[in-house]
Amino acid sequence: MLRFQVINDAQSAQWTHGAGPFELGRAPSESTAVPRFVIEDRYVSRSQLRVEAAGAGQVRLENLGQALELGDGSSLQPNEVRILPLPVKLTAGYSRIEISDELPLGEPDNAYDTISRPVRIERAATAGAVIEVGESPSPATLTKWFETLLSVQRAAAGTAEFYEETARAVVDLVGLDMGLVLVRRGTGWETKAMHEAAGARFSRVSQAVLNHVISQRRTFYRALAGMENSASLAQVDAVVASPVFDAHDEIVGIVYGSRGIQVGTKRPGIVPMEARLVQLLAGAVSAGLARMEKEAEAARNRARFEQFASPVVAAELERNPALLEGTEREITVLFSDLRGFTRISEQLGARDTFQLVGDVMDKLTEQVLKHGGIIIDYYGDGLAAMWNAPLDQADHARFACRAALAMQAELPALSALWQDRLGKPLQIGVGLNTGPARVGNAGSRMRLKYGPRGHTVNVSSRIEGATKHLGVPVLASAATQKLLGDEFATRRICQVRAVGLEGSVELFEVREAPADNAWQLLRTTYEQALKLYESGQWLAAVDLLTPGKADPVGHEDIPSRTLLRLAREAAHNPSSSFDPAFRLDGK
């Protein structure tokens, strides 16, 4: 087994590699057959070096790129192959590379001691004493421990500082000669950070203790407490390794420490207290990585939520993702559609049509979000929105109607921008309906779409379609109208039967209040005529709506003209099965 170390301004990595060739280079390998470490040094060749064990204590080097400088001052030329004894030191670009032999230690299982498992793993275990008899630290020592742990946790998880603080704590807090943070990379290890005490001798990482940690999922250390303190221990290290877990309790790294044994030292090995401190540091790293993963997931969700909801609503969905599973709520739904879209697209062409629709949707979306709504979806030249989900909004119908009228108010400025190319004002129709719906993820698991499903949504869509047939910019159902109070001026337009819906829906025009006198007179005349029509008094309705009997403004009103036509047809061809509901031929 070979041990690699690469050091440059951007990296400090160590890992081990088993059997077979291994490559190093500036670019990822184009083949998956040979693993490769990518060196972050622009002066290294894209494919620089191939390495393979060549018998006991030897390594085969094949230079795939530019010339390399070896540690003895010689060079390895391009395409040159050489077998060298280990260890090998060489330079590529501004990177130092060291390859050494990771000798199997052949240690028996009882060569290492362990302590209680981390709490996250041994959840059912009874908590034992943290400090053994004779190891009680002073208050000052405890304070230092907690301050060090806080410094680790304050560092942003996953950053170089985060790992460096941990490695430094192994030396400065625990008192070992060397501290490392290792991260799993496939079957090998990458050194994220390393810190050494002043004067400490180089120490190889014990693969044996790493294997113990991986297989047993707990902290292991080599105490050496029972070994005789003599010169025979001069090249033996006391080591400790503790697992780092991700949010799914998978081992993703190890906090590792070692102490070189020196003749005459009072405490040559590692004691349980030190092992517990290393485990505490590993727990801090685990917590930091879990926090980072949770924050990253929350950021991704927040970004998705804020595409269709205000920041307040997005925060609620982030706080309570269970809302996506679906809840029954009363909501107000708004559908909006750009009038004459077919003509506009033919007139402008694809490029300008795309720009126009984008301009319109930007303004309509702005008003929905400004008035507390959520965008359900965009469809061609229109959009759908809703209120009262996921947060309660006592005045959701009013919020929706305010948004509808504000959307209409955006049109003059938009029309002015496009006047030269369109030649006529832009128009939109808005339909609103209030009722029960199931609200949650109305999309799929692959593509999230928070929104409602149910009859209330279908009715709202049909009401928006009715605005085109009836010539009224904003129409609301009776269920919405009864929740509006005096803030809006409304006119009952008709009962309507729409394609795909059973039964009729009562519709109301919605306007800003107070309305002018002319419109109020129009409303009074129209609603009286509508009652006459619905009660079968068709001639009386015709008489009320005929020119000279009604205010002249009424003769520019499409609902008045429609009602007059229907009343005349009913009077001319009376039927015992008369249905007062208006019929719409399309959606």
Indicate if the pLDDT at residue 105 is higher than 70.
Answer: no
CB atoms within 10 A of CB 232: 11
**Quick one: tokens of 347?**
């007139």
Q: Which of 58-62, 412-416, 498-502 has the lowest mean pLDDT?
A: 498-502
Give me the DSSP letters along 183-236.
Answer: EEETTEEEEEEEEE-TTPPP----HHHHHHHHHHTS-EE---TTS--SGGGTT-
- Measured between its terminal Cα atoms, the distance across the chain in Å is 72
Indicate if the pLDDT at residue 124 is higher than 50.
Answer: no
Highest mean pLDDT among 75-84, 271-280, 396-405: 396-405
Look at residue 227 in the predicted model and tell me its pLDDT: 46
Ramachandran angles phi, psi of 534, nearest 5°:
-65, -25
User: What is the rounded distance in angstroms from the CA atom of residue 552 to the CA atom of residue 529?
Assistant: 15
User: What is the rounded distance in angstroms from the CA atom of residue 220 to the CA atom of residue 285?
Assistant: 17
Look at residue 231 in the predicted model and tell me its pLDDT: 39
CA distances from 338 to 95, 277, 307, 331, 387 (A): 61, 66, 21, 23, 21
User: What is the rounded distance in angstroms from the CA atom of residue 481 to the CA atom of residue 241?
Assistant: 69
CB-based contact 118:218 (threshold 8 Å) = yes
Is the pTM higher than 0.75? The answer reads no
User: What is the rounded distance in angstroms from the CA atom of residue 508 to the CA atom of residue 501?
Assistant: 18
CA distances from 114 to 130, 206, 258, 574 (A): 14, 16, 15, 97
CB-based contact 270:259 (threshold 8 Å) = yes
Ramachandran angles phi, psi of 21, nearest 5°:
-70, 160
**Quick one: tokens of 394?**
């006592």
CA distances from 169 to 138, 148, 196, 365 (A): 18, 7, 11, 51
Indicate if the pLDDT at residue 290 is higher than 50.
Answer: yes
Highest mean pLDDT among 168-182, 286-300, 484-498: 484-498
- Angle at which helix 311-319 crosses helix 272-305, to 10 degrees, equals 140
* Fold topology of 2-101: Tumour Suppressor Smad4 (2.60.200)
User: What is the rounded distance in angstroms from the CA atom of residue 542 to the CA atom of residue 563?
Assistant: 9
Output 216 or 310, whichever has higher pLDDT: 216
Secondary structure letter of residue 550 according to DSSP: B
Output 403 or 187, whichever has higher pLDDT: 403
- The per-residue pLDDT of the chain, averaged, comes to 84
Look at residue 380 in the predicted model and tell me its pLDDT: 85
Return the CA Rg of the chain. 38
Q: Which of 144-153, 387-396, 435-444 has the lowest mean pLDDT?
A: 144-153
The β-bridge relationship of strands 113-114 and 220-221 is antiparallel
- Angle at which helix 341-370 crosses helix 411-422, to 10 degrees, equals 160
**Quick one: tokens of 210?**
């790493």
- Domain limits, the chain: 2-101, 109-123+130-295, 320-514, 516-587
The β-bridge relationship of strands 188-196 and 220-221 is unpaired
Highest mean pLDDT among 191-200, 321-330, 334-343: 334-343
**CATH number 3.30.450.370 is the correct assignment for the domain at 109-123+130-295:** no
Secondary structure letter of residue 325 according to DSSP: G
Indicate if the pLDDT at residue 211 is higher than 80.
Answer: yes
Indicate if the pLDDT at residue 128 is higher than 70.
Answer: no
Output 276 or 309, whichever has higher pLDDT: 276
| C-alpha torsion 460→465→470→476, nearest 10 | 10
Residues 6+ apart with CB under 8 A from 493: 470, 472, 475, 507, 508, 509, 530, 559
Look at residue 145 in the predicted model and tell me its pLDDT: 61
CA distances from 107 to 112, 188, 274 (A): 9, 20, 22
CB-based contact 396:331 (threshold 8 Å) = yes
User: What is the rounded distance in angstroms from the CA atom of residue 163 to the CA atom of residue 142?
Assistant: 22
User: What is the rounded distance in angstroms from the CA atom of residue 390 to the CA atom of residue 374?
Assistant: 9
Residues forming a β-bridge with 385 = 334, 375
Say which amino acid occupies 81.
V
- Angle at which helix 139-154 crosses helix 160-172, to 10 degrees, equals 160
- Residues found in the chain: 587
Reported confidence tier of residue 130, pLDDT bands at 50, 70, 90: very low
Q: Which of 230-239, 394-403, 474-483 has the lowest mean pLDDT?
A: 230-239
Q: Tell me: cis bond preceding 452? Omega within 30 of 0 counts.
A: no
CB-based contact 377:384 (threshold 8 Å) = yes
User: What is the rounded distance in angstroms from the CA atom of residue 46 to the CA atom of residue 80?
Assistant: 17
User: What is the rounded distance in angstroms from the CA atom of residue 252 to the CA atom of residue 189?
Assistant: 10
Reported confidence tier of residue 204, pLDDT bands at 50, 70, 90: confident
Indicate if the pLDDT at residue 334 is higher than 50.
Answer: yes
Domain 320-514: CATH superfamily is Nucleotide cyclase, GGDEF domain (3.30.70.1230)
Look at residue 382 in the predicted model and tell me its pLDDT: 95
Indicate if the pLDDT at residue 129 is higher than 60.
Answer: no
Residues forming a β-bridge with 49 = 24, 63
| C-alpha torsion 285→288→292→298, nearest 10 | 140
Indicate if the pLDDT at residue 131 is higher than 70.
Answer: no
The residue-averaged pLDDT of 490-507 equals: 90
Classified as helix, coil or strand, 560 is: helix
Look at residue 378 in the predicted model and tell me its pLDDT: 93
The residue-averaged pLDDT of 445-455 equals: 83
Ramachandran angles phi, psi of 218, nearest 5°:
-155, 175
Indicate if the pLDDT at residue 293 is higher than 60.
Answer: yes
Q: What is the pLDDT of residues 388-440, one digit of tens each?
A: 998 899 999 999 999 999 999 999 999 999 999 999 999 999 999 999 999 98
Look at residue 498 in the predicted model and tell me its pLDDT: 80
User: What is the rounded distance in angstroms from the CA atom of residue 124 to the CA atom of residue 120?
Assistant: 9
Output 266 or 43, whichever has higher pLDDT: 43
**Quick one: tokens of 16?**
């081990």
Which one, of 502, 490, 516, 507, lies nearest residue 563 by Cα?
507
**Element housing 342 (H / E):** helix 341-370
Q: Which of 63-72, 193-202, 429-438, 501-510 has the lowest mean pLDDT?
A: 193-202
Q: Tell me: cis bond preceding 412? Omega within 30 of 0 counts.
A: no
The β-bridge relationship of strands 382-387 and 327-338 is antiparallel
